[in-house]
Amino acid sequence: MDLTGKQPRREVHAVPKPRQYQHHVLTVIRGLGYEPELLPHSDPGLAGMRKVIEDACAQRDGYTENKFKDAWEALLDSGEIAYNIPTAKP
Protein backbone atom coordinates (compact mmCIF):
# COMPACT_ATOMS: atom_id res chain seq x y z
CA MET A 1 0.00 0.00 0.00
CA ASP A 2 1.13 3.53 -0.61
CA LEU A 3 0.47 6.57 1.60
CA THR A 4 -3.04 7.00 0.19
CA GLY A 5 -4.03 3.51 1.25
CA LYS A 6 -4.27 2.24 -2.33
CA GLN A 7 -2.49 -0.74 -3.75
CA PRO A 8 0.16 0.27 -6.29
CA ARG A 9 -0.60 -0.81 -9.84
CA ARG A 10 1.51 -3.61 -11.18
CA GLU A 11 2.95 -3.08 -14.58
CA VAL A 12 1.82 -5.84 -16.89
CA HIS A 13 3.78 -6.46 -20.03
CA ALA A 14 2.43 -8.62 -22.80
CA VAL A 15 4.78 -11.31 -24.06
CA PRO A 16 5.41 -10.80 -27.78
CA LYS A 17 3.89 -13.48 -30.02
CA PRO A 18 7.26 -14.68 -31.39
CA ARG A 19 8.51 -15.23 -27.84
CA GLN A 20 5.31 -17.10 -26.96
CA TYR A 21 5.93 -19.46 -29.85
CA GLN A 22 9.57 -19.93 -28.83
CA HIS A 23 8.36 -20.87 -25.35
CA HIS A 24 5.93 -23.36 -26.92
CA VAL A 25 8.78 -24.97 -28.89
CA LEU A 26 10.85 -25.30 -25.70
CA THR A 27 7.86 -26.82 -23.91
CA VAL A 28 7.39 -29.36 -26.71
CA ILE A 29 11.08 -30.30 -26.60
CA ARG A 30 10.91 -30.91 -22.85
CA GLY A 31 7.60 -32.75 -23.26
CA LEU A 32 9.31 -35.16 -25.66
CA GLY A 33 11.90 -35.88 -22.96
CA TYR A 34 14.83 -33.89 -24.34
CA GLU A 35 16.94 -31.10 -22.92
CA PRO A 36 16.84 -28.08 -25.26
CA GLU A 37 20.60 -27.51 -24.93
CA LEU A 38 21.44 -31.16 -25.69
CA LEU A 39 19.35 -32.15 -28.69
CA PRO A 40 20.58 -35.41 -30.23
CA HIS A 41 22.39 -35.09 -33.52
CA SER A 42 20.81 -37.19 -36.27
CA ASP A 43 22.57 -39.23 -38.87
CA PRO A 44 22.59 -37.97 -42.47
CA GLY A 45 19.52 -39.03 -44.42
CA LEU A 46 17.34 -39.54 -41.35
CA ALA A 47 14.63 -37.26 -40.04
CA GLY A 48 16.20 -35.07 -37.39
CA MET A 49 15.02 -33.61 -34.14
CA ARG A 50 13.88 -30.44 -35.87
CA LYS A 51 11.33 -32.42 -37.91
CA VAL A 52 10.18 -34.43 -34.88
CA ILE A 53 9.67 -31.24 -32.88
CA GLU A 54 8.03 -29.43 -35.80
CA ASP A 55 5.53 -32.27 -36.21
CA ALA A 56 4.70 -32.07 -32.50
CA CYS A 57 4.30 -28.28 -32.70
CA ALA A 58 1.95 -28.66 -35.66
CA GLN A 59 -0.75 -29.77 -33.20
CA ARG A 60 -1.03 -26.20 -31.88
CA ASP A 61 -3.68 -23.85 -33.22
CA GLY A 62 -2.19 -21.15 -35.40
CA TYR A 63 0.81 -23.24 -36.42
CA THR A 64 2.62 -22.29 -39.60
CA GLU A 65 5.92 -23.49 -41.01
CA ASN A 66 7.22 -19.91 -41.00
CA LYS A 67 6.40 -19.41 -37.32
CA PHE A 68 8.21 -22.61 -36.45
CA LYS A 69 11.21 -21.75 -38.64
CA ASP A 70 11.51 -18.28 -37.10
CA ALA A 71 11.18 -19.62 -33.56
CA TRP A 72 13.70 -22.42 -34.19
CA GLU A 73 16.29 -20.05 -35.68
CA ALA A 74 15.84 -17.52 -32.86
CA LEU A 75 16.29 -20.26 -30.25
CA LEU A 76 19.42 -21.56 -32.01
CA ASP A 77 20.85 -18.06 -32.31
CA SER A 78 20.22 -17.33 -28.63
CA GLY A 79 21.72 -20.65 -27.52
CA GLU A 80 18.50 -21.76 -25.85
CA ILE A 81 18.58 -24.87 -28.03
CA ALA A 82 21.67 -26.62 -29.31
CA TYR A 83 22.66 -29.94 -30.82
CA ASN A 84 24.80 -32.35 -28.87
CA ILE A 85 27.36 -32.92 -31.61
CA PRO A 86 29.42 -36.05 -30.99
CA THR A 87 33.13 -35.45 -30.77
CA ALA A 88 35.55 -37.45 -32.87
CA LYS A 89 37.29 -40.26 -31.04
CA PRO A 90 41.10 -40.05 -31.01
Note the pLDDT tens digit of each residue in 17-40.
889 999 999 999 999 999 999 998
Residue 32: closest CA among 52, 59, 60, 46: 52
Between 84 and 69, the more confident residue is 69
Between 74 and 89, the more confident residue is 74
pLDDT of residue 1 exceeding 60: no
What confidence tier does 73 reach under pLDDT thresholds 50, 70, 90?
A: very high
What confidence tier does 72 reach under pLDDT thresholds 50, 70, 90?
A: very high
Question: Tell me, what's the pLDDT at 3?
Answer: 66
Question: Tell me, what's the pLDDT at 60?
Answer: 78
Length of the chain: 90
CA distance 42 to 50: 10
CA distance 41 to 82: 9
